Amino acid sequence: MTKAEIVNEIVTKTGIEKEVVSATVEAIMHTIKAEMSKGENIYLRGFGTFLLKKRAEKMGRNITRNTAVKISAHMIPAFKPAREFMSEVKTKVRVK
C-alpha cells in the first residue's frame, strides 16, 4: 500500500477532504522523522514503537577495490509492532 492509497482509504472512511488528510499524513511522518532524528523513540499504544537501534562498528569490504572499509557505529530506525498489532496480523494473514 502506498501513501496515496492510505490517504484515499482515510478519505473514503472519514469523508474528510483529501488535501486535509494528505497534509495530516505528511505532518505525522515529518514529526516521526524529526523526533527520531533528535534521538527520541515514538510510542503509539496499540500500534507499535518507532525506535532507534545502535549498530556496532564493523569492518566491511569495498568489492570493486578489494579493500577493507571501517564502518563506524551508527543508529538506525526500527519498528516494533504492539502485541495487538501482531496478533491481528497473525490471525488475519495467511502464509501463501
20-35 confidence digits (pLDDT tens): 999 999 999 999 999 9
pTM: 0.79
State the Cα–Cα distance between residues 96 and 81, nearest whole angstrom: 22
pLDDT band with cut points at 50, 70 and 90 for residue 53 = very high
Residue pair 48/16 in contact (Cβ under 8 Å)? The answer is no
State the Cα–Cα distance between residues 18 and 10, nearest whole angstrom: 8
pLDDT of 71: 94
Please, is 3 exposed, middle or buried when counting C-beta atoms within 10 Å of its C-beta (0-12, 13-18, 19+)?
A: exposed
Mean pLDDT to the nearest integer, 44-72:
95
Phi, psi values for residue 16, rounded to 5°: -75, 150
